[in-house]
Structure 1
Amino acid sequence: MTIFEGTFAQDSSALRFAIVIGRFNDLVTDKLLSGCQDCLKRHGIDVNPHGTQVDYVWVPGSFEVPLVSRQLALSGNYDAIICLGAIIRGNTPHFDYVAAEVAKGVAAAAFQTGTPVVFGILTTDTMQQALERAGIKSNLGWNYALNALEMASLIGQLRGELPANNAQAALPVSQLKNPMLSE
């Protein structure tokens, strides 16, 4: 059997990413973006906005992220899209509606297009919790970028663009040696 797994040891020079960032709660989303860029850079991706590997798209808030992510995925120009945002609970049910719809929208963008779309939207009860997840204790932006790298590699393998971890099993069946048929 073939084992398909995303890897981080591949040549990343051909990979292209889009990062969609919600401006609302930018104190948090700016920190998530920094963590995301740090991870990508340490894995060989040129994060320069004027470069060729990462495009940055700023939207008003998290609610707008799924629409833009889907449009980017439909373009076929990206190996993965990373969605960054922060939805922080207030005193009204607005949080529940926005958080649920954003989660559904990001998932739908991936399902409808076949492009990995990483859900990097923080949904927290307080600003303190959001800041802890965006850099005070750890920066989940790093994790979201790592997820995008892994999924880009995995989907590339499944599409036949990258070798699987088991090179012999990745060969067409006609090229595999069957000891029962050997002369």
Structure 2
Amino acid sequence: MPDLDAAGLTVGIVATQWNEAIVGRLIEGAQRAIAASGATSVSDVVPGAFELPFGAQSLIRSGSVDAVVVIGAVIRGETTHYELVSEGCAQGVMQVQLATGVPIGMGVLTVENEEQAMARSEPAGGHNVGEEATVAAIEMALLAARHRA
């Protein structure tokens, strides 16, 4: 992870209620990245991944954040629900960040099984998509601030 100086920035974490054990590990990764960068955080919880874009948009509209990271885990099941939720979430997140100009890190796992989710949400020092997505959101917020200056 790069050394980032994000003192003065606020990063919003919007996380899902589903797959609580995995999402909890992703949130811990996001919080590590925020603490390491010197930023502060606010957080919200939404029911599921499909609701993440609206949750992010609501937080952005509050005017209290410079960047957002969305956190969730969509695990393939026996129906097409997986495709609908993961595609809707990804497209919605992209639309919100482009419409608002506030970067959103995509910390939503889309995996085949719980084993893959656990491998992508490891504790400190391991592969953690929540941490990686938060770093990306902070990097983009810093980039946006440079362009405004």
Assess same fold via TM > 0.5: yes
Q: Which runs of 5+ in 2 are unaligned?
A: none
- Equivalent residue number for residue 144 of structure 1: 133
How far the C-alpha of 1:8 sits from its partner, in A, is 4.5
Aligned 1:152-167 pairs, distance under 5 A: 152-160=141-149
> TM-score w.r.t. structure 2 length?
0.92
Structure with more helix by fraction: 2
Q: Is the 8 A contact 1:73 1:109 kept in 2?
A: no
- Equivalent residue number for residue 3 of structure 1: none
1:55 paired with 2:49, answer: no
Tell me the SS of whatever aligns to 2:138: helix
Aligned 1:27-176 pairs, distance under 5 A: 27-45=21-39, 53-135=40-122, 138-160=127-149
Stretches (4+) displaced over 3 A = 7-10
Q: Which runs of 5+ in 1 are unaligned?
A: 1-6, 46-52, 161-183
Measure the CA separation in 1 of the matches of 2:54 and 2:121.
Answer: 24
Q: Is the 8 A contact 2:33 2:131 kept in 1?
A: yes
Larger Rg: 1
How far the C-alpha of 1:69 sits from its partner, in A, is 0.5
Measure the CA separation in 1 of the matches of 2:78 and 2:4.
Answer: 46
- Aligned residues: CA RMSD: 1.5
> TM-score w.r.t. structure 1 length?
0.75
Structure with more strand by fraction: 2
- Equivalent residue number for residue 20 of structure 1: 14
How far the C-alpha of 1:159 sits from its partner, in A, is 1.3
